[in-house]
Amino acid sequence: MNRFYVTLPSNSCMDYYPDNTMARYTTKLANKVELEGDWEVGLAETSFPSKVENVTGGQCYYELYVNGAAISIIYLPLHHHRQICTLVEAMHFEQRKQVPLQSHKPLLAEFSHANGKISMRLHEHSDFHCTIKLSRDLARMLGFDESVAYSCSTTARCVTSLVAGDIYSAYVYWSTLPLETRGHHFSA
């Protein structure tokens, strides 16, 4: 036998390793593998779940300005949004939390979704004027231009897309147990 493959799913040994996740896991081999001679071991293939976070840490945010002065950068938490309405809800929730705004006060920037596009309403008052800048990833998902500072209520030019952000990295780290020498046989 010159070559063989072993499949190591992340959820195959949950009884032994209950803390396993898709991203970090330990598994047991179904059968003992004994090898004679010199062998090279390598990773032939890896797969990732279809549920990859589309709102990534530090990449999806919006900046709020009042009368030209920056008052807050609203960072959205890492999450996989399946629907645009949950992204809009998260944007509103984080604005109330991070500005902070009391529940009876209007949002400085309010977003709504209709006909595949996002509309943005900026709160106006005689005492202040709001401006908003969206991060590149958030602007792409919402259908807005990424390099524009919006200072009036508007509707996005493009339709929304929850896959418009980037997947920044995927790390594959593989650790094996040291081999035990038994004559001319090796066991893992």
Tokens of 179: 């081999």
Q: What is the rounded CA–CA span in Å between residue 61 and residue 44?
A: 37
Q: What is the pTM of this model?
A: 0.65
What would the two tokens of residue 60 be? Answer: 């999806």
Domain map (residue ranges) of the chain: 1-48+170-188, 61-155
What is the Rg, in whole angstroms, of the alpha carbon atoms belonging to the chain? 25
- Going residue by residue through the chain, which has 188 residues, state the pLDDT in tens, using 9 for 90 and above: 577 888 888 788 888 888 877 667 788 888 888 888 887 777 777 776 656 678 887 889 999 999 999 999 999 998 889 899 999 999 999 999 999 777 788 899 999 999 999 999 998 888 889 999 999 999 999 999 998 999 999 999 999 988 755 555 566 666 665 555 554 444 44
Token pair listed for 115? 């006909």
- Alpha-carbon dihedral angle through residues 103, 107, 112, 118, given to the nearest 10 degrees: -150
Cβ count within 10 A of residue 34:
10
Contact 81, 90 (CB under 8 A): yes
Enter the tokens of residue 120: 């943005």
